Amino acid sequence: MRKPWTRNLKSSCLTGSLLIAGILPFQAHAALGEPEASVATDVQQFQASVKSTLHASYRVHEIQLPSGTLLREFAVPGGNVFAVAWKGPAVPNLRQALGQYFDVYVGAAKLKRGGRTHIEVHQDDLIVQSGGHMRAFSGRAYLAQAIPAGTSTAELH
Amino acid sequence: MRTMIRSLSALSMIAGASLVACGGGDSSSSSTTSVTPTGSNVLSVVVDSGPSSNSFNTLYTTVTICVPGSTTECQTIDNVQVDTMSYGLRILGSVLTLALPVAHATDGNSLAECTTFADGFSWGPVASADIQLSGESASAVPIQVIGASNFAAVPAACSATGPTEEDTVATFGANGILGIGVFEQDCGSGCASNANSGFYYSCTATACAQIAVPLTSQVLNPVPLFATDNNGTLIDLPSVASPGAATLTGSLIFGIDTQTNNASGTQTVLTVDPNSGDFTIVFGGQTLTDSFIDSGSNGIFFNDSNLTQCSSSDYSGFYCPAASQSFSATLTGVNAVSATESFTVDNAQTVATNDPTFTVLTGLAGTFTSDLETFDWGLPFYYGRRVATAIELHSTAVGTGPYIAF
């Protein structure tokens, strides 16, 4: 219902990194739960291109991965990344995208399985939902407490 | 109960890898009588408890592979899962007794693959094998050997797709998987043009790096490589009385409209997305654009917040309504052809505990995150039907693949 004001920053991998790194202090770690600046690290690590769009209460960094998969990272402007979502032919490098939460995901996933085409993990604040099959995967991970007020989880995809 | 749940949740759970058991699947009897197709294009398939007697709704067959060019160095491998939502043959290294030649990447090193599933990844080299399925054969086919010993370790970029490594029979849930879906290659043009697809690696004995792989060197669906009966498949399973049966035997028929036993007839043809293989299912007011029919899923997976989920952690992720509930869903192909099909959701825990001999559960259903826009209609869809899977770019009497028909 909210029509967000959007600003598109379409750029190559290198300039995309510079743009974001130029605005915000550089961080060496990956995205989920990290400052928005860490998106630049992901873009660099993934050798990807990025397009950033500002919505009412968050900014979406759309990272086009070489595999063809689109990785979207949701951040509070100037704050932290609170969600990542992916869709495309390959599962992205989730260790990079989930950062410190990757090990939590792996640990929790061992205990709870939802079939080969679907997995859902709820571990404290972390929710990871991953689905799909060969050539078509989608999923997302978010920190429930960090979602900005007024933002629905339905927007996080 | 621990193994019970893991069987339900993870397709099947096989305790303890064993060396290959040659010579066909378990004997079984179906609960209904039907005309069994015969012919050199018919491979027997079975839903049973699997190699360690704890699988549900898992369709197995037996494949024969040979060292390329040899008629004596061959191995028959049973408990290979039949999967319409993957592409290519994969065998667990622990059951393989043949010495198959490892394929070369374009740089001359060994070619390996990181195969991802939503719930984990499988790693191993690509090898070349002759494949024999009933009377159909294909020569020097690239297959994957999952969890091969004496091979480079899982690359960090592969394990980083998480969460679980599935490189043993126990973690993979079968001795192998036969991917016979709508596509010819497991990756396609993305992997041919791009080194960083996340699928293929060039490996020395100790290190691996991602590499592009030409289409014909990728792990290939064997069906289009057959000399005849190569435009698709039919899975033909008898009907099962609700809520289940001990076992079920049926047929995997190669070719569509190529023999008297594989005619399309009046089937409903739904074309699927040429990139993903998906189509749209409308269910309970949700329009789920990334939906699929999958012989490799052991239940019907969809989101319905009104359906009671099982309270026992042993059945986590499955539905356990107090009484069985009936639903219908509308399937719409890319070609705008629609069909409305009904299904029943049973209490997974009650059915599985009331008759522990059941491996066929007609009403086994579980959750699928709503925002992923998916309805995954697994093996229960196939009970009592003939479901056709037409391969991309191949024609039948009723259309051109990729399509599914039933």
Contact A58/B at CB under 8 A: no
A45 CB within 8 Å of a chain B CB: no
- Proportion of chain B in helix, strand, coil states, percent, rounded to 5: 10, 40, 50
Give which of A43, A45, A116 to mutate to test B binding, by max B Cβ within 10 Å: A116
Omega before residue A89 within 30° of 0, cis: no
Determine the residue type at B277: G
* Domain-wise residue ranges, chain B: 17-225, 263-405
Query: Hey, of B186, B276, B300, which one would you mutate to test binding to chain A, going by the most A CBs within 10 A of its CB?
Result: B276
ipTM over 0.90: no
pTM of the model: 0.89
Give the number of other CB atoms < 10 A from CB of residue B106: 13
Residue B33 has what pLDDT? 47
Q: What per-residue confidence (pLDDT) applies to B36?
A: 80
Question: Of the ranges B52-56, B181-185, B200-204, which one carries the lowest mean pLDDT score?
Answer: B52-56
Contact state of B190 with A68 under an 8 Å Cβ cutoff? yes
Rounded Cα distance, B53 and B94, in Å:
19
* B131-146 pLDDT per residue, tens: 999 999 999 999 999 9
pLDDT in tens, B356-388: 999 999 999 999 988 889 999 999 999 999 999
Determine phi and psi for B103, rounding to 5 degrees.
-75, 155
Describe the crossing of helices A13-23 and A38-45 by its angle, rounded to 10 degrees. 160
Residue B371: the pLDDT is 84
Cα-based distances in Å from B213 to A14, A68, B19, B292, B402: 26, 16, 31, 27, 23
| SS percent in chain A: helix, strand, coil, step 5 | 25, 35, 40
- Partner-chain contact A113 B276, CB within 8 Å: no
What pLDDT, in 10s, does the model give residues A50-97?
899 999 899 999 999 989 999 999 999 999 999 999 999 999 999 999
The minimal CB distance from A131 to the residues B6, B187, B372 is found for B372
Which residue in B85, B164, B277 is closest to A109 by CB distance?
B164
Strand partners, A1: none
Q: Which range, of A112-116, A153-157, B83-87, averages the lowest pLDDT?
A: A112-116
The architecture (CATH level 2) of B17-225 comes to: Beta Barrel (2.40)
Helix (H, G, I), strand (E, B) or coil at B246: coil
* Closest CB from A89, A95, A133 relative to B85: A133
Per-residue pLDDT averaged across B255-278, rounded? Answer: 97
Q: Which pLDDT tens digit goes with each residue over B16-54?
A: 222 222 233 333 333 444 678 889 999 999 999 887 777
Q: What is d(CA B344, CA B363) in angstroms, rounded to the nearest whole number? A: 5
Q: What are phi and psi of A23, to 5 degrees?
A: -80, -40
d(CA B361, CA A133): 22
Angle (CA) B112-A72-A66 rounded to 5° is: 35
Integer-rounded Cα Rg, in Å, for chain B is 20
CB-CB neighbors (< 8 A) of A131 in chain B: 118, 290, 368-369, 372, 374, 376
Query: What 3-state class would DSSP assign to A18?
Result: helix
Interchain contact, B372 vs A96, CB within 8 Å: no
Whether the CB of B276 is below 8 Å from some CB of chain A: the reply is yes
Q: Rounded distance, CA B173 to CA B12, Å?
A: 5
